[in-house]
Amino acid sequence: MKQTLFKRSLALLLVLVAMMAARQVVAADFQANVQTDIKVFRDFFAARFPEVKFADYANGVYAIDADACQQWKEIEEFPPYSIAVEDGKVLFEKPFANGKTYTAYFQNGGVVRQNYPYYDEKKGTVVTLEMAINECRVANGEKPLEYKGGDIAKISAYMAFISRGKPVDVKVESEGAYKAYMKGKEFFYAKRGQLNMSCAGCHVKYAGGWVRSEILSPALGHTTHFPVFRSKWGEIGTLHKRYGGCSDNIGAKSFAAQSEEYRNLEFFETVMSNGLSFNGPASRK
C-alpha cells in the first residue's frame, strides 16, 4: 500500500516537474521571439535612416527631419504644453472627496511613467497609465475621466514630465502578456479602412515619406513622448486620441480610447521602443 502511494506521489511529482519545465521552455521561446522582433524592427530603421542616432527616435518625426527639428527645438523653449503640465500638477495634488490624493495610489510621487503599459496577470489585460489614473479615481469614489483629452491628458502630461529620462523597458514575461503583445503586433501590421492601410504601412514602410505637407514619422519611439500638444487639436491629447485620428485618416472605424485593441497596440509599440527614454509630454503639428 505504501509503495503504491509512493509510486503515485512520485509520478505526480514527475508530471509537475515536466509541466514546469514545459512552461519555462514556452517562456524562453516567446521571450526570444520578442527580442527577435525588437532587433528586426530596430535594424530596419537603422538601415533606413543610418544617420539617425537610436536615442533620437524618442523625438518622433523630428529625428528624421533636420529642418523641422530645429523649428521644434525653438518651440520647446516655450512649450505649448507647459500650462497643461501645471494644471496636471494641481489636479494630481488635489485631494479627492475622501481626503486622499493620487500619491496614495502612485508610488514615488507619481514618477511612474516608465512602469506603463504593463500586463496585469490578475486582471488578464494590459494596463496603461491613463487606465490606471481612472482606476485610482474610481477606487477613491470619484468619477472616471474622459480618455482622449482634458483633465486626464493633463494629469498624464504632468506624470510624464516628472518621469522624463526614465528608460523604456516593457516586459513580456508570461503567456498572457505574450498573447496581448501578439494581438498588438497583429493590429499594427493588419491593413484596414477604405485606404487599406496599416500602422506599419505609414510608419514603417513609408516612414520619412510625405503625405501632403507632412512627413510620416517612424514607428520606433512612437509611444515615448505622449501625451502631446498638437497644433491641429489646439490642446493636449492622449496616445489613444491619436490612434483614433489615424484610423479616421485611413477611413477605418476607430475603436474607443482605452479599448483592448488600442491598449494591446500601445503595449506592442512600447515594447518595440525598449531602450529609448520617455520624454513626454511633447509638441507636434
Count CB neighbours of 190 within 10 A: 12
Give the largest CA-CA distance in the chain: 84
Domain-wise residue ranges, the chain: 37-285
Q: Is 19 helix (H, G, I), strand (E, B) or coil?
A: helix
Q: What is the pLDDT of residue 15?
A: 54
Q: What is the pLDDT of residue 29?
A: 82
Q: What is the pLDDT of residue 192?
A: 94
Closest CA to 190 of 204, 180, 200, 182: 200
Q: What is the pLDDT of residue 31?
A: 84
Q: What is the pLDDT of residue 22?
A: 46
What is 37-285's CATH number, 3.40.1380.10, 3.10.20.30, 1.10.760.10, 3.40.50.150? 1.10.760.10
pLDDT 10s digits, 134-174: 999 999 999 999 999 999 999 999 999 999 999 999 999 99
pLDDT 10s per residue in the chain (285 long)? 555 554 555 555 555 555 555 455 566 688 889 999 999 999 999 999 999 999 999 999 999 998 889 998 998 899 999 999 999 999 999 999 999 999 999 999 999 999 999 999 999 999 999 999 999 999 999 999 999 999 999 999 999 999 999 999 999 999 999 999 999 999 999 999 999 999 999 999 999 998 888 899 999 999 999 999 999 999 999 999 999 999 999 999 999 999 999 999 999 999 999 999 999 999 998
For residue 244, what is its C-alpha cell?
483614433
Q: What is the pLDDT of residue 110?
A: 97
Q: What is the pLDDT of residue 211?
A: 84
Active site residues: 246
For residue 129, what is its C-alpha cell?
497609465
Phi, psi of 163 (to 5 degrees): -105, 10
Element at 284 (helix H, strand E): strand 282-284
Q: How far is CA 230 from CA 18, 112, 182, 245, 281, in A?
A: 54, 24, 30, 12, 11
